[in-house]
Amino acid sequence: MSIKKQKRTLTDYLTYSASTTQSLSNGLPLDGVITQIDLDVRVTASKAYVGVAEDAIGRLLNVLRIVGPGESAFFSVTDGRMAQWYNHFSNTVTYFDDLTSTGECHALISINFSLNPNDPYDMTCALPANTTDKGKMSSLNLRWTCPAATVMDGGTSPSTISTAYIYVTVHELLNAPSPLFEPRMESNDWAADNTYSDLGKKFNIPTGMFVRRVLILANDNTALSAGTTCGDIRKDDQVTRIGVTLPEEGSRRSLDVTQWEAKREGASANVFYGDQWNEAAGAVSLNAITRASARMGQPIGVYCVDFRRYGDLSINRWGKIAGLDQRNKAPGNLYLAMTIGSYTSGDDVHMLWDEMVPSPGKTL
């Protein structure tokens, strides 16, 4: 039988319930190889938003996971803002409504797993829900841990979330074999403990798989506007330089980029839509705490390192194909290194590792 493309919006959807974890009641479909999942996020507030938090939609997403058998995570973010910015740096289209009225507002976010995010049916890296060579997975689901109802608003009298839903559209290939790679996501957070000069703060780059990208989000422990219900804000004064060092070669630097260079990775300014780079009339500074809308705004405190663009061939044999080949490597063979320019108690740095595992039986 020939491979067939299929795109469908599920009748099953996720419904917001404060501080609970919601799952699709019927799970994700197990009919073929899932290459892309589109999320239509819809939210209605109890009143007009006052002092809307930056990345408001990302804060609403909170913890978002795609889990398979045994709770193995194909996609997992512990801070929904990472999903929002991952979408941006993957070069996939993002759309955000304003959150300035009490009507229903939308955000469209795509999760594309492949090596070619411009093709929603590229199966180089995909979810093998049902394949001609491996059969059907026993389970696959999308889970949303909903935040508190005031998470999107930093005003003095916060509006609350009246209703919120996530509608799911799936792109899949029917009658297809296993993809070359399966996606994996791995998040970790570092509670900043000091300043570090000259790439002095080091983290092990994950081992056991291919590491395609790392997305970094630096949080400043500053109360949002006059309210405190939204959590920390993004700042550029913490992570000021990013590198990859090789301990086995006397800590030689294979990569050394400024924070500004890391903002260009994967996506450029023209990927933003409408006036998402601008604030409303009477705009505040780049490190603005409040927003006139939920749009993404400036990428303050957000950086991406795409390992398919960097690194020498001694550590990056798969280079433009898959990133760093960390299979059969011991922890500590490579370090992600950072210069930390500013530190206050409560600051933290989120890292989202975009990784791929070769499908069993595939020859690379």
Range(s) of the domain holding residue 198: 187-358
Higher-pLDDT residue of 312, 339? 339
179 within some domain:
no
Q: Has this prediction a pTM greater than 0.85? A: yes
101 and 24 within one domain: yes
Q: What is the pLDDT of residue 50?
A: 63
221 and 153 within one domain: no
344 and 204 within one domain: yes
Provide the phi-psi class of 282: left if phi over 0, else alpha when psi is between -120 and 50, else beta.
left
Contacts of 69 (CB under 8 A, 6+ apart): 137, 138, 139
Picking from 113, 148, 174, the residue at the C-terminal end of a domain is 174
223 and 159 within one domain: no
154 within some domain:
yes
The DSSP letter of residue 261 is H
The pLDDT of 285-293, averaged and rounded, is 39
Instruction: Encode 145-160 in three state secondary structure.
Output: ECCCCCCCECCCCCCC
281 and 202 within one domain: yes
The mean of the pLDDT values for the chain is 82
**pLDDT of 232-273, one tens digit each?**
788 888 999 999 988 888 888 888 888 888 877 654 333 333
User: Which pair of structure tokens corresponds to residue 60?
Assistant: 């609403």
181 within some domain:
no
282 and 141 within one domain: no
> What stretches of the chain show up as alpha helix (H) in DSSP?
56-61, 80-89, 259-263, 319-322
205 and 138 within one domain: no
Q: What is the pLDDT of residue 257?
A: 86
204 and 130 within one domain: no
202 and 303 within one domain: yes
Q: What is the pLDDT of residue 291?
A: 44
CATH at residue 88: 2.70.9.10
Q: What is the pLDDT of residue 100?
A: 61
d(CA 167, CA 107): 11
Number of domains in the chain: 2
182 within some domain:
no
151 and 193 within one domain: no
CATH at residue 229: 2.60.120
Highest mean pLDDT among 228-232, 267-271, 304-308, 326-330: 326-330
Task: Determine contact, residues 31/149, Cβ cutoff 8 Å.
Answer: no
364 within some domain:
no
193 and 158 within one domain: no
Whether the pLDDT of residue 282 is over 60: the answer is no
20 within some domain:
yes
